[in-house]
Amino acid sequence: MAKSSTPCWPTDNPTLVDALAKTWEWRQQQVAFFFDGRLLALLSASKIGSVWMSLPHFDHGAMWVDVEWLSLRFSNTKNQEIDVRDFYLLLIQHFLQIAETDNKEKSNINLFEVMLDESFPFPDGEEINFVSRFRCRSHLRLLNFFNETKVVPTLQLPVQLENLSGIFSVNVRRKLRKSFKNGITVKSGGAELLDSFYRVYTANIKKHASFGLPLRFFRNLFNNYKNGRLNIVLAYYEKIVVGAAIIQTFNGVAENIAFATLKPFNYLYVSYTLHYSMMQIAVKENCKTYSFGRSTAGSSGHQYKKQWGTTDVPLFFNDSEKEVQINSNSKIINTILRHIPTIIRQPLDNIVSYYKY
């Protein structure tokens, strides 16, 4: 992947399936496609019930294709430029055929390597019928059914750390100065900071009347992550942890994969210090892009991220079959969720996160 000029997202890191397998015991599958000894594509997915999902709980699907080399190397049967979407569909079809014939135990991870050659059958606009239901998040509209309400705001980073503050607007720089003037300090580290992170994370989830990811998922993520950096950043005010976030890097891209602040302290501009500190880590890791994580287009969270000077990457939730629309919780349910004690909520987090991703 590093040899290619095609960008990666942190979810393309093949080690992520280890954390998923150890947390929820979903069956995992990875298929790597090669041509002339060169990696052309890598697809990873989890099987949840009868559905293959690439990848649960992350902002993007783990479906990396060397698009630039693909367009230079191959042509379809009519000697025309290949439709990238059709190629993705063909790879998904091959992935499912391999995955469904692999009889390994559900939590095992098996990597298949498929060697392609000139006779590889490229699609030519024909309809492809999958052997199983498939879902994925992608910057491309790949499947017949999709939801396009989400976007991923991203920011291009400078090469030199001393140039970082110069890419922000006057308004953002002013809020950063206020944050530090208010006495917000930061600390970054690894799994040793998980308990502090999780206290803020669960408090924030409760505020939003939702369910979160179990603590063991984050522990498994830190225990199995390779090929990049995974850091927790904590924000303090008078020795109290008032904000917490996790940054994940892989092959030149850094992404905010979990972010929370305590509402009573938001007037101190805690979120600005957290994002700025994660960007500093990203620059030190030679990352060119910083992702703020997915947002609902037009939401207040989306507007907050736009003020940093971001560019929106579209994010489609693709489904090979018609997705059942689930209505938002009623006000009564939201009120109940906000008052459920943590000792009860955490087991519920385990159950809900298995089915809702």
Write out the chain's pLDDT in tens, 357 residues. Answer: 888 888 899 999 999 998 998 999 898 999 999 888 889 999 999 999 999 999 999 999 999 999 888 777 766 555 566 678 888 998 899 999 998 887 666 555 667 888 877 666 666 656 678 889 999 999 999 998 999 999 999 999 999 999 999 999 999 999 999 999 999 999 999 999 999 999 999 988 877 667 889 999 999 999 999 999 999 999 999 999 999 999 999 999 999 999 999 999 999 999 999 999 999 999 999 999 999 999 999 999 999 999 999 999 999 999 999 875 544 555 555 566 666 776 677 778 888 888 888
Q: Where in the chain is the domain with CATH 3.40.630.30?
A: 158-287+335-355
Instruction: Please list the residues that pair with 111 across neighbouring strands.
Output: 30
4 — phi, psi (to 5°)? -95, 150
Burial class (CB within 10 angstroms; exposed 0-12, middle 13-18, buried 19+) of 318: buried
Q: What are 98's two structure tokens? A: 């391999």
Distances in whole angstroms, Cα of residue 158 to Cα of each of 163, 257, 285:
6, 21, 12
Q: Which residue has the tokens 């579209």?
A: 314
- Assigned architecture for domain 158-287+335-355: 3-Layer(aba) Sandwich (3.40)
Q: What are 200's two structure tokens? A: 């803020």
Buried b (16+ CB within 10 A) or exposed e, 2-36: eebeebbbbbbbbebbbbbbbbbebbbbbbbbebe
How many C-beta neighbours within 10 Å does residue 37 have? 6
Q: How open is the CA angle 239-242-244, to the nearest 5 degrees? A: 115
Distances in whole angstroms, Cα of residue 217 to Cα of each of 229, 253, 278:
17, 22, 21
Provide the pairing of β-strand 240-250 with 230-237: antiparallel
Task: Give the whole-angstrom CA distance, residue 213 versus residue 343.
Answer: 14
